[in-house]
Amino acid sequence: MTLPMNDVHSGAPDPNAGHLTGVGVGPGDPMLLTLAAVEAIRTADVVAYHQAPGGSSVARSIAQAHLREDHVEEVLEYPVTTGQTDHPGGYRAAIDEFYDEAAARLAAHLDAGRDVAILAEGDPFMYSSFQHMHERLAHRYPTTVVPGISSVTACSTALDRPLVEGEEVLTILPGTLGEETLTQHLAHTDAAVVMKLGRTFGKVRRALEASGRLDAAWYAERVSHEQEVVRPLHEVDPDSVPYFSLAVVPSAVGAAEWMPDAARPESAVDGYVEVVGLGPAGAQWRTPEVDAALRRATDIVGYTTYVRRVPDRPGLVKHDSDNKVESERAEFALDLAMRGRRVVVVSSGDPGVFAMATAVLEVAGEERYAGVPVRVLPGMTASHAVASVVGAPLGHDFATISLSDRLKPFDVVRARVKAAAEADLVIAMYNPASTERRTQVAAIREELLQVRAPETPVVVARAVGDPDGERVSVTTLADLDPEVVDMRTMLIVGSSRTRVVRRNGGPRSVGAHPGGPDGGELVVWTPRRYPDD
């Protein structure tokens, strides 16, 4: 048998043994069988296929027109699929035993010199039972795999729209994954196909909703069959979903032209405002919950620097503004929501820590906005990000204080810093300086030196998470240089109990080469016990 495929066996099989071929028969329509698949079926002596207990084989029905009367057919009927089993080893043991027995039956044909073709729906190497036969037989017999058109690619034809375009990322997921895992994957990808629905449909639907993808999701059932069904996923009755169905979130390019009516911004979906934290920097610092909010938003509102961190997508409108107009920005967002828009107000770090959550809630308290839902979604705040890159300086009680005097007098700032220092708290200092505020850090350092020892550890961290701008150092209160501090810097001043040690394998060397010519990294931590004598 000559096929335009590469053999994938290893070792030196018996030259008189038969040839094993995995044949992808496509998603259902016999017209989607490839020429190579037809040839492999036509020339085989034995045609094998899997089927459910008491059922029939979809793969066989696809290939039926190419079966000969003299073909030996091997029906590989599962002992159990999703039901219960009385096997003493449980489901896994029952299935493994079945695959071993099926492989032995096929091996008997191959040993007798008969060529065996195993039919596989879709593609033999994509969530296929053929893979278990390949694992058990391919190293013993000459083996060829004929790829098939999978339901993943066929579903885009059923939807009549592309799965992905340009630089979009496609993620293929089994519906059997845990709900939280599904939600995370769906929130972080551009396009997705979820296979193996059936009993998993309810969980998959909840994951699509939690990730903000439900409005853009489609349902495709028995793709390319005569009974094919395609509809917006939110319309599907969970009790009617068969195993041979898919959930599809296709390309967002040109989405407005084909988006389900319920997903369009002009639909009856009520407007709302979500205030979210993007984390200190980069997508890796965002939570799946925030990603989901960004996905379902029609409008993004925020300070220009933060708005730029939100990925563009078709249909998303961005509204950026200066950093000193928080109240005006909140009013604008609430007005958009009153017009039925799904508005996300973005902050760096956590929106409830010196950020936009308070500003939005203050304005939302006005009577005219009483009917506008406002939700706050947390983010990784800068103090926690900074602490993580040096160790655990916030391991005991700590205070969080903004040094900015734009919204409160500097005398209040000084009094609070002094009170925290006298209470022997670690102090995380936000907004320590800007181009206009250049004296506060020096003044605060002098205040602290009246209460704290000169050798008190100080973490100076700039732009943590930014691969281009990140700079982190550990100094002392006496040696702290106010001139190196700017608006993107955070200071963490230790307590009397905070420790600094040098060690190999510190928090920043994992996955890299620990240690170095200086003998390792500086690690900062504050004991949980107080005192620790």
Sketch the domain layout of the chain as residue ranges: 20-149, 152-263, 272-377, 383-525
Instruction: Tell me how far apart the alpha carbons of residues 153 and 158 are, in angstroms, rounded to a whole number.
Output: 9
Instruction: Tell me how far apart the alpha carbons of residues 324 and 151 are, in angstroms, rounded to a whole number.
Output: 52
Query: Residue 505 has what pLDDT?
Result: 60
Structure tokens at 150: 């999978």
CATH for 272-377, options being 3.40.1010.10, 3.30.1390.20, 3.40.1410.10, 3.60.15.10? 3.40.1010.10
- Model confidence at 533, in pLDDT bands (50, 70, 90)? low
CA-based end-to-end distance of the chain: 80
Tell whether the model's pLDDT for residue 47 goes beyond 70.
yes
Query: Residue 412 has what pLDDT?
Result: 95
pLDDT tens readout for residues 237-288? 998 898 889 999 998 765 544 444 444 433 334 799 999 999 988 888 898 8
CA atoms within 13 A on the CB side of 197: 28
- Model confidence at 308, in pLDDT bands (50, 70, 90)? very high
Using an 8 Å Cβ cutoff, are 496 and 446 in contact?
no
Query: Residue 329 has what pLDDT?
Result: 94
Query: Residue 463 has what pLDDT?
Result: 87
Pick 512 or 94 by higher pLDDT. 94
Q: Which position has the token pair 């000459």?
A: 142
Query: Residue 94 has what pLDDT?
Result: 86
Query: Residue 189 has what pLDDT?
Result: 87
Range of lowest pLDDT (76-90, 323-337, 469-483, 501-515): 501-515
Query: Residue 256 has what pLDDT?
Result: 44
Tell whether the model's pLDDT for residue 435 goes beyond 80.
no
Q: Which position has the token pair 């028969």?
A: 25
Instruction: Tell me how far apart the alpha carbons of residues 188 and 283 are, in angstroms, rounded to a whole number.
Output: 9
Residue 510 CB-density burial (10 A; 0-12 exposed, 13-18 middle, 19+ buried): exposed
CATH code for residues 383-525: 3.30.950.10
Residue 93 has phi, psi (to 5 degrees) of -65, -40
Query: Residue 21 has what pLDDT?
Result: 97
What is the number of other CB atoms lying within 10 angstroms of the CB of residue 247? Answer: 29
Instruction: Tell me how far apart the alpha carbons of residues 238 and 262 are, in angstroms, rounded to a whole number.
Output: 18
Total residue count of the chain as it appears in this document: 533
Pick 511 or 210 by higher pLDDT. 210
Structure tokens at 475: 């100094």
Mean pLDDT of 313-328: 86
Tell whether the model's pLDDT for residue 158 goes beyond 50.
yes
| DSSP H stretches of helix in 120-239 | 130-137, 151-159, 179-188, 201-210
Strand 245-249, strand 317-321: pairing: unpaired
pLDDT tens readout for residues 465-478? 888 888 999 999 99
Mean pLDDT of 351-361: 94
pLDDT tens readout for residues 166-178? 888 899 999 999 9
pLDDT tens readout for residues 19-35? 999 999 999 999 999 99
Architecture of the CATH domain 20-149: 3-Layer(aba) Sandwich (3.40)
Pick 252 or 216 by higher pLDDT. 216
| DSSP H stretches of helix in 5-45 | 35-43
Query: Residue 527 has what pLDDT?
Result: 93
Tell whether the model's pLDDT for residue 45 goes beyond 60.
yes
Pick 440 or 511 by higher pLDDT. 440
Do the domains 272-377 and 20-149 match in fold?
Answer: yes
Question: Residue 172's beta-bridge partner residues?
Answer: 193
Query: Residue 263 has what pLDDT?
Result: 44
Mean pLDDT of 480-489: 89
Instruction: Tell me how far apart the alpha carbons of residues 225 and 19 are, in angstroms, rounded to a whole number.
Output: 31
Query: Residue 492 has what pLDDT?
Result: 96
- Model confidence at 150, in pLDDT bands (50, 70, 90)? very high
Instruction: Tell me how far apart the alpha carbons of residues 186 and 204 are, in angstroms, rounded to a whole number.
Output: 10
Pick 4 or 271 by higher pLDDT. 271
Residue closest to 250 by CA, chosen among 299, 194, 292, 317? 194
Mean pLDDT of 337-345: 94
Mean pLDDT of 339-359: 94
Tell whether the model's pLDDT for residue 77 goes beyond 80.
yes
% of the chain with per-residue pLDDT over 70: 90
Pick 287 or 515 by higher pLDDT. 287
- Model confidence at 507, in pLDDT bands (50, 70, 90)? low
323 CB contacts (<8 Å, ≥6 apart)?
A: 303, 304, 305
CATH code for residues 152-263: 3.30.950.10
pLDDT tens readout for residues 94-104? 889 999 999 99
- Model confidence at 228, in pLDDT bands (50, 70, 90)? confident
Pick 167 or 432 by higher pLDDT. 432
Question: Residue 460's beta-bridge partner residues?
Answer: 473, 491
% of the chain with per-residue pLDDT over 90: 63
Per-chain mean pLDDT for the chain: 87
Mean pLDDT of 231-242: 91
| DSSP H stretches of helix in 365-439 | 382-390, 410-422
Query: Residue 145 has what pLDDT?
Result: 97
